[in-house]
Structure 1
Amino acid sequence: AVSNAVPAFRPTEWRNARTTLGWMVAMLVALFAGLVGLIHLDGLVPRPGETLLSQLGRETFPTGPWYALLQATTALILLLAANTAFNDFPRLLFFMARDGHAPRRFLHMGDRLAFSNGLVALSLAAGLIFVAFRGNTASLIPLYAVGVFLAFTLSQTGMVVHWRRRRGPGWHRRLALNAVGATLSGLVLLTAAVAKFSEGAWVVVVAVPLLVLLFRRIRRHYAALHHALALHPPAPAPSGPAGSAEGEELPQEVRHLVVVPVARLNRASLRALAYAASLGQPTLAVHIAPEEAEADRFREQWQAWGDHLRLETIVSPYRAVIGPLAHYLEALRTTRPELTLTVIVPEVVLRRRWHRPLHSRVEQRLRVALRALPGVVVTTVPVHLAE
């Protein structure tokens, strides 16, 4: 946790982090040596159902509230240890996302200045492991041991590579020290992975390579995305056949066709039609009807309204709306690939949240259906209701 949080320390960051680690190591050695000495002097041995620390507490405090205080303090230390992961793992995901090896949503901080997405991801992963192993500590310890010594081995090996590249003053001694640490950690990792493989260690052995492959694929995707979206010098002639990826365009090169889906004539649809007509671009209204008779009735209503815009009706006998409309727009795009289709959908804005499940949210479904179609822009015209 300290190594991952070095940038969060006050200047000089590395010196303060090293001081913190030094004090932590000193306290750990003092506590461990003291406990081992007390356990040896009392002649305690491990037994099922009770830890050595609990036995030591019963021997030292046979009466009074001190034993309960010891157990409560131990629980608080374990809680702090678990909380350390929630403090630092989101920061680690932030560093990975910054380098392109994790989704960029882990870069964002929440309202409480914490990496909320990382906290949620860790909570879900911890809950999944807890349920899968039924909270059995004996099964979780091998998983923990393999994961910890894998991290130790990788960090020590990384320091060996660091000293070989930097070659600063005293680098031979530092490289040798980290090489010994990497070797010892690697031996413990190998022993724990083999001995406890069937008891839960297999999860780490299988999951870590899969996670590495996943992070590499994420990094490759971001690299390809950066290359595709980068600005390039204008080419003398358009490259690639029609239907390829969208390229750079100048404003005067964009030609519009505005399409307004109209389910029924009401205040929301008329507002969308008025907005589309105000843009001064060729505009087309599209109505999806379940049968021909209903299409004829809507044409009569359209004529009574004034037939201000061109109307296309599509009969969908299975009462589907999104699919036929998406296919129609795709056909328009295929026949006129030079056009940019701007689909304007009215959206009723509801003031009460419990009203939202009562509506189908057609604009969101249409946006999802048309997302893969190049040259199509979906925009909404909000209509606010008083209730």
Structure 2
Amino acid sequence: MVTFKRLLLGRPLKSTELGEQKLNKKKALAILSSDALSSVAYGPEQILLVLITVGTAAFWYSLPIAAGVLILLLALILSYRQIIFAYPQGGGAYVVSKTNLGTYAGLVSGGSLLVDYILTVAVSVSAGTDAITSAFPALHEHTVAISIAFVVFITILNLRGVTESASILAYPVYLFVLALFIMIGVGLYNAVTGGVHGTVHVPLSTPMAGISLFLLLRAFASGSSALTGVEAISNAIPNFKAPAPNNASKTLIAMGILLAILFAGIVLLAYSYGIVPKAEETVVSQIAEMTFGRSFMYYFIQGTTALILILAANTGYSAFPLLAVNLAKDKFIPRMFTVRGDRLGYSNGIISLGILSILLIVAFKGQTEQLIPLYAVGVFIPFTLAQTGMMLKWLREKPEGWLPKLVINTIGAVICLVVTLMFFVTKFAQVWPVLVFLPCIVLLFHRIKKHYVAVGDQLRLTTCEPNVPIEGNVIVLPVSGITHVVEHSVDYAKSLKPDQIIAVYIPFERDEEAAFEKKWNQWRPDVRLVTLHSPYRSIIHPLSKFIDTVQRKANEAHYQVTVIIPQFIPKKGWHHLLHNQTSLMIRAYLLYRKDVIVTTVPYHLKK
């Protein structure tokens, strides 16, 4: 098993090697921007799908709507750049909201983002799998299995370490960016030189009946789904090489520039080429075909698009564990999320994300496209809270140059709030679950925190009840026969020099009882034996009642009751399947008994 683990994940890394696992800007841009960059494959199309409800003549509105999305992108980039320097420990919207708006706002942000990263993995992998099954229809019935295989692959890659996953995943991301740059460059050249074979949409500013502000806001909200993933870098600052805030800031700006160019380029080409959304073909596919025909470049673009849709899941693997660490440090989720694995990654967070994503894929049978609105609104709630939190920070602290920062965050907060409300108004049937699971998640966070606080209060020496002095010890030793295992346990019990040792034998038949008593008295007459006949063939029940009796008397004399459980350990692991695990059941039951100490005495078999 250890050999297989080493083969799968690589050799363990020393804690001193943590610095070597940090990301440089090029690798960080690839793995932390894949979600945001991949969204250009469907963001522009979402705008057109809303506008087509009133006719293709309304498509010229896609240009000012895209401009609005770019303004929001600029506000988010500038805001999250400020967050990076203000909160270099990472945590992004969770830390900003908790610090400036209070615990509840922080938990809403944190809960939204945790769920959103699970959706990121499920939606991205399912979308990439759809692209593959579209090219190879024979694989369509295996959609769920293929999606699960991709999740397992990306999970293992991340368990091997951040730098190793980044080294592998960087190539497809940069190939996708290169492919779209070439497509946009050639497409715009064709548009300018008149080499476009499609029908150009109606000119700008053409009056259009049926267009309303509500429709435009709805299209804007749909197009804003292209901005999911922008917050990932601010959550993952600890993954960057020193100076982490500076490198994270530069990576964020680079991501914003790339996202803006790709998004604007695709919207502009869709308008110039007269592209109309089709159920059977994406907008990017139509643009690529009209630009290059069904040539190598077309398939190159489609292939890299499918790859980045799958690899966009890696953004979740980069940000989810670090957000979980911040929540766990504040005692809102289990502390196991703060533990680093053999390869210095937060392996519990990585594994949990993989399992939850697989469950989501199985539950929706790999058809997770209906989750995209829920996925988008799950991002814009933290966006809104983070922007509002930064506004309050500048108003409260008023550092040098705070006014421009306040303006940036105010604009971002207003736009994000509008987008969030538009999702609830226009897509309520798809996003209403957020109104159910967010309160449940916040309640769960508080229950976990309450538990940790209670544990701390009880363990703290200054607040604990004074211990009752132990004046003696009574050992109860369940036995099933006269063997080397029992002999070893009796010798161990005697070595503790207790006040009394009581061996307990539980026969199912009366004749067994008398026969065993006779053998025991001949073998160890110095150790008291108690037999408890069990006509219903239960071991736990009579043993428990006997321990209750002993404990009651022991408490009166301030004696401690210790139960010693003999257990033999087979040489090979699979041999456990061949034996009754009675000792394990007794131990599991007694561990929840108050004031009873349980000790296992193992006896290792040699063959």
**Normalising by structure 1, what TM-score?**
0.91
Q: Please name the residue that 1:206 is paired with.
A: 436
Structure 1 residue 225 corresponds to structure 2 residue 455: yes
Matched-pair contact (CA < 8 Å) for 1:133–1:139: no
1:14–1:262 Cα change, 3 Å: same
CA-to-aligned-CA distance 1:317-376 (integer Å, 9 cap, x gap): 111112221222123222322222111111211221211122232332222211222221
1:354 and 2:574 matched: yes
Shift of 1:249: 5.9
Q: CA deviation at 1:147?
A: 1.0
Q: Distance in 1 between matches of 2:463 and 2:295?
A: 81
The aligned residue for residue 244 of structure 1 is: none
Q: Contact 1:291 / 1:317 at 8 angstroms: preserved in 2?
A: yes
Partner in structure 1 of residue 604 of structure 2: 384
**Aligned with 1:17: secondary structure?**
helix
Q: Structure 2 vs 1, CA of residues 163 and 224 (structure 1 numbering), >3 Å: closer, same or farther?
A: farther
What SS does the aligned partner of 2:433 have?
Answer: helix
How far 1:121 moved relative to its partner? Answer: 1.6
CA displacement at 1:183 relative to structure 2: 2.4
- Distance in 1 (CA, whole Å) between partners of 2:515 and 2:496 is 29
C-alpha distance in 2 between matches for 1:321 and 1:233? 39
Native 8 Å contact 2:478 2:505 kept in 1? yes
* 1:279 corresponds to which of 496, 499, 511: 496
Distance 2:271 2:383 in 1: 29
Structure with the greater relative contact order (CA < 8 A, sep ≥ 6): 1 or 2? 2
Q: Is 1:148 aligned with 2:379? A: yes
1:380 is paired with a residue whose SS is strand
What displacement does 1:220 show?
Answer: 1.2
In 2, Cα distance between the equivalents of 1:367 and 1:188?
A: 56
- Tell me which residue corresponds to 2:533: 315
Deviation at 1:190, TM superposition (A): 2.1
Cα pair distance change 1:233/1:106, threshold 3 Å: closer
Contact conserved, 1:339 with 1:375, CA < 8 A, in 2? no
The worse-fitting range, judged by mean Cα deviation, of 94-103 and 318-327 is 318-327
Rounded to whole Å, the distance in 1 between the matches of 2:243 and 2:497 is 61
Provide Cα deviations, 1:69-105, integer angstroms capped at 9, x if missing partner. 1111112222231111012201211121111010011
User: What's 1:243 paired with?
Assistant: none
Give the match's secondary structure for 1:320: coil
Corresponding residue number in structure 2 for 1:375: 595
Higher-strand-fraction structure:
1
One-letter code aligned to 1:349: I
Return the letter of the residue paired with 1:263: S
CA contact (8 A) 2:554 2:561 kept: no
Q: For the residues of structure 2 that align with 1:25 and 1:233, how far apart are their CA atoms?
A: 52
Q: Which of 464, 471, 474 does residue 257 from structure 1 map onto?
A: 474
Distance 1:314 1:161 in 2: 70
More deviation, 326-335/29-38: 326-335
Output the amino acid matched with 1:217: R
How far apart are the structure 1 equivalents of 2:286 and 2:327? Answer: 44
The superposition leaves residues 256-298 of structure 1 with CA deviations (integer Å, 9 ceiling, x where unpaired) of: 1111111111111111111101111121111111133221111
- Check conservation: 1:340, 1:376, Cα contact below 8 A: yes
Do residues 266 (structure 1) and 483 (structure 2) align? yes
Q: Which of the numbers 581, 584, 601 marks the counterpart of 1:364?
A: 584
AA partner of residue 322 (structure 1): I
Matched with 1:58 is 289
Task: Please state whether the residue corresponding to 2:601 is helix, strand or coil.
Answer: strand
Indicate how the Cα distance of structure 1 residues 194 and 296 shifts in structure 2: closer, same or farther if over 3 A, else same: farther
Question: 1-side partners of 2:595 and 2:287: how far apart?
Answer: 73
1:32 corresponds to 2:252: no
Q: Tell me the alpha carbon deviations over residues 128-169 of structure 1, each in whole angstroms, 9 at most, x when there is no partner.
A: 222233322431211211111122122223323433443322
Specify the code of the residue in structure 2 equivalent to 1:369: Y
Name 2:148's counterpart in structure 1.
none
Partner in structure 2 of residue 242 of structure 1: none
Flag the structure with higher helix content: 2
- Aligned pairs, number: 373
CA distance in 2, matches of 1:203, 1:128: 17
Extract unaligned runs of 5+ from structure 2: 1-231
After superposing the two structures, state which structure 1 stretch, 262-271 or 56-65, moved more: 56-65
Query: What one-letter code is carried by the residue in structure 2 that aligns with 1:336?
Result: A
Label 1:311 to 1:206 Cα distance change in 2 as closer, same or farther (>3 A): same
The ranges of structure 1 where at least 4 consecutive aligned residues each deviate by more than 6 angstroms after the TM superposition are none
Q: Is the 8 A contact 2:476 2:564 kept in 1?
A: yes
Report the more deviating stretch, 263-272 or 346-355: 346-355
Matches within 5 A, 1:1-387: 1-199=232-430, 201-232=431-462, 247-248=466-467, 253=470, 255-281=472-498, 282-337=500-555, 338-387=558-607
CA contact (8 A) 2:565 2:587 kept: no
C-alpha separation between the residues in 1 aligned to 2:252 and 2:539? Answer: 63
**Equivalent residues of 2:506, 2:532 under 8 A apart:** yes
Distance 1:194 1:310 in 2: 76
Q: CA deviation at 1:63?
A: 3.5
Aligned partners of 2:233, 2:524: CA distance in 1, in Å? 72
Deviation at 1:299, TM superposition (A): 0.5
Task: Give the 3-state SS of the residue equivalent to 1:319 in structure 2.
Answer: coil
Secondary structure in 2 matching 1:315: coil
Contact 2:236–2:318 (8 Å) recurs in 1: no
> CA-atom RMSD, angstroms?
1.9
Q: Which amino acid aligns with 1:206?
A: V
What is the rounded CA distance, in whole Å, between the counterparts of 1:356 and 1:194 in structure 2? 58
CA–CA separation in structure 1 for the residues paired with 2:276 and 2:429 = 27
With over 3 angstroms needed to count, the CA separation of the structure-2 counterparts of 1:364 and 1:157, relative to structure 1, is farther
- In structure 1, what residue type is equivalent to 2:306? A
Residues 326, 366 of structure 1: 8 Å contact kept: no
Query: What's the % identity of the aligned pairs?
Result: 40
Distance 2:512 2:328 in 1: 53
Offset, 1:254: 5.2
